[in-house]
Amino acid sequence: MKKKIAVIGLNYYPEESSTGLYTTEMCDYLQKEFDVTVITGYPYYPKWKISDEYINKNGILEEKRNGVEIYRVKQYVPKKVNPLNRLYHYYDFYKKALDITKKNSFDMVQVILPNIFLLKLAIKMKKLNKTKVIWAHVQDFEIDAGLETLKGIGKIKILKNFLYYAERKLFEKFDIVSSISEGMVKKLYEKGIKQENSYFFPNWSDISKLYKLDKSSYKDNLKLKKNDFVVMYSGNIGGKQDWETVIEAIEKLSNIKFIIAGDGNRKNYLFEKLKDKENTILLPLQPKEKLNEFLNLADIHIIPQKREAKDSFMPSKLLGIMAVEKPVLVLANKESNLYQVIKAENIGYTLNENEYNKLSETIDMISKDKHRIVKGKKARDYLMKNYIYEDIMEKLIDKINKIVKKGEYK
């Protein structure tokens, strides 16, 4: 009989970006080996609005997709996101998901963070003998990210220490805690997680669907000239990116074409600032089936992290960029794993937190650098050695089998 696994997180199919995509692809693979149940919310990300297909539905929905049982609860989704209503967004999902878990028992439960309330949910399930093994998978250290990017809060040591203490006490109760980058795994150690209870579980890229093209169809569709040098940002447009620095560079580089595509809680702000810029094309998040064509449009991709952000999160868009052999320009704190990997492996360009003012001149330099093609090729080679979907999934299955077997005898 197959072992029963529950995966609990806010984001899942039909969401095609960020955490929802990775959780969906993970569960699609795990169902070959396990009986997989997903408890998730109504799809809302990255627009922060429940999708049209679900908006008029209510209550608990039961679905089945690719052999995975799916339970959906209609969670609160704020119209304008701030720290307080985001917290209630997390809590509302936790409260409604808890009702479902009371009726079922599992061999293992994996909760997907961000959403610190889900740590409490998994602990409750284990205490009530509803699961043998509990696993927390950290896609985003929400507390760290908030304290790093909101400078005022970060200086309130009492609040900071209390939040870290509460988080640590919750993590200590888990059989295993994983995260998506080596830097984020090291952060787990800082939070008191023992090495034997930690696991490096990175995101991945499907290289059969993402690869280099000689020419992207978007070039003609967007009426770009043959010699236009294209700088692209594609993904979540939120508070983790330094948009002011990007806007300043766009204003200085009239000879460069910028494409900004995506959605998120700062989209309206950014698009309003850039709507009259002749060198900028603003687009919605592109559909998954067109992603390969779209990523291939750029000569270089840009990832502009906030200066203060270190290893609280790892932008998953990096893997798609690497897959299509495009170099990346990363603006990131020099202490972050993101900055260090790009620099050490020579698979892109970097500006540290003290160099953001050099963005426009760096883009201009890159537009004339013939070696950028070599960096793109090296990036895909690095990806193929470390981030292939099937390899990561097989290692995950092996890890689950080992910890579930161990959990049976606790």
Domain boundaries of the chain, sorted by first residue: 4-204+388-407, 218-386
pLDDT higher at 214 or 159: 214
Shared fold status for 4-204+388-407 and 218-386: yes
Q: 243-252 and 267-274 helices cross at what angle (nearest 10)? A: 10
Q: Report the range of poorest mean pLDDT among 86-95, 128-137, 162-171, 333-342.
A: 162-171
Check residue 313 and give its pLDDT. Answer: 63
Compute the average pLDDT of residues 231-239. Answer: 92
pLDDT in tens, 293-343: 999 999 999 999 999 877 666 788 899 999 999 999 999 999 998 999 999
Q: What does pLDDT average to over the chain?
A: 91
| Cβ contact 3:32 at 8 Å | no
What is the second-level CATH architecture of the domain 4-204+388-407? 3-Layer(aba) Sandwich (3.40)
CATH of domain 218-386: 3.40.50.2000
Give the DSSP per-residue string, 147-180: HHH-HHHHT-HHHHHHHHHHHHHHHTT-SEEEES
Q: What is the spatial distance between Cα 153 and Cα 164, in angstroms, rounded to a whole number?
A: 13
Cβ atoms of 72 and 80 within 8 Å: the answer is no
Q: How many CB atoms lie under 10 A from the CB of residue 377?
A: 13
pLDDT at res. 358: 97
pTM score above 0.85: yes
Q: 66-97 pLDDT, tens per residue? A: 999 999 999 999 988 887 888 899 999 999 99
Residue 277: CA count within 13 A, CB half-sphere: 24
- Alpha-carbon distance of 115 to 228, in angstroms, equals 42
